[in-house]
Amino acid sequence: MDTLRTMRLFVRVVERGSFSGAAVDFGLSHGMASAAIKALEMRLGVELIRRTTRRMALTEAGEEYLDRARRILSEVDALDEAFAEGRGKVTGSLTLQVPAAFARLVLSPSLGDFLDRHPALTLRVISRDRLPDMIAEPIDLFVYTGPLPDSSLSLRSLGRFPILTVASPDYIARHGAPQTIEEIDRHRQIDILSATTGRVLDWRFQRYGRHVPRPGRAGLSFESSESAIAACMGGAGVMQNISYALADPIASGRLVPVLTDHIDPGPDLSLLTRRLPRPPARLRAMVAHLEQVVRQRRERDAALISPALTALS
């Protein structure tokens, strides 16, 4: 195995946290992958990965080799891409992490068009709602909703999607609709659990231009927004969620907006990447695509939701 391929294999072993996973990615057996890394260690004269029966961990030399290998491979990939870009092609591979609902409702439906324009690009989409470890994980770009920790990453805002409060027509017929923010406490609430902390998320309202949070009660709570919305459509209670998850049920009449005078503009939808002197063409192409898709989705959702809001006013 040549030096660059061995270097890539080593990086993948670290990123996957196992020889087996990296071996599958490279089309190798577990034994071949392990032997290749062992040969690399013998050639360098240092131990890079300390193996036990239960886990593997990088040695100090392994951490240094990983850092320098990533930089070298990034330069090699940039060189290849520069020539491909000169021929008008976007090539290479890109790994994205996006919130699960965003992947299902916003990003995934748009990828056919994106790949038609960039057929030489390989995409890997990870759908989850927690912050990734951009050092340990091979993530090139991630989209996140909510507050972010201080970071050395490059950050840009994709804008906001409003937070809507909704209930099913059946629930409203049986229990009425809350007329004030305070009245929400007298209704059955469907809460969302944070995928990061496991705690019930606060409800979000706006009154006189100011953010008004209210704690959830966790009488009925879900980690999955999709499951919570299904329960709400079944008449289980009142809930809140981001507009792109609720636009279609509202447009079809399965859910009805309530407390429409107190709609919160929603948290920032942020797009983060590593800071690079010159981001590769594949990354620039995906950033531009996401900006366009989010803008189109916001316009679409506004068109779907507006008739329901007008009917209530």
Domain ranges of the chain: 3-73, 89-154+271-301, 163-265
pLDDT of residue 92: 82
Average pLDDT of the residues in 42-53: 86
Same fold, 3-73 and 89-154+271-301: no
Average pLDDT of the residues in 89-113: 90
- Say how far apart CA 193 and CA 187 lie, in whole Å: 19
- Residue 13, by phi and psi: left (phi above 0), alpha (psi -120 to 50) or beta? alpha
Give yes or no for residue 136 having a pLDDT over 90. no
pLDDT of residue 13: 87
Residue partners of 50: CB distance under 8 A and separation at least 6: 56, 57, 58, 59, 62
pLDDT of residue 87: 55
- For residue 88, what pLDDT band results from cuts at 50, 70 and 90? low
Average pLDDT, the chain: 86
CATH topology of domain 89-154+271-301: D-Maltodextrin-Binding Protein; domain 2 (3.40.190)
Tokens of 143: 């989209």
Give yes or no for residue 296 having a pLDDT over 90. yes
State percent of the chain over pLDDT 70. 91
SS3 (DSSP) at 24? helix
Give yes or no for residue 150 having a pLDDT over 60. no
Lowest mean pLDDT among 29-43, 85-99, 164-178: 85-99
Give yes or no for residue 20 having a pLDDT over 70. yes
pLDDT of residue 250: 94
Average pLDDT of the residues in 289-309: 89
Task: Give the rounded distance of the alpha carbon of 3 from its chain centre.
Answer: 34
The angle formed by the CA atoms of residues 303, 146 and 198, to the nearest 5 degrees, is 115
Helices 19-26 and 30-44 cross at an angle (nearest 10°) of 100
Average pLDDT of the residues in 51-67: 84
Q: Which CATH class is domain 3-73?
A: mainly alpha
The string of pLDDT tens digits covering residues 200-237 is 989 999 988 888 889 888 789 998 899 999 999 999 99
pLDDT of residue 79: 72
Average pLDDT of the residues in 258-277: 86
pLDDT of residue 282: 87
Average pLDDT of the residues in 5-24: 86
- For residue 189, what pLDDT band results from cuts at 50, 70 and 90? very high
- Say how far apart CA 289 and CA 294 lie, in whole Å: 9
Give CATH for domain 163-265. 3.40.190.290
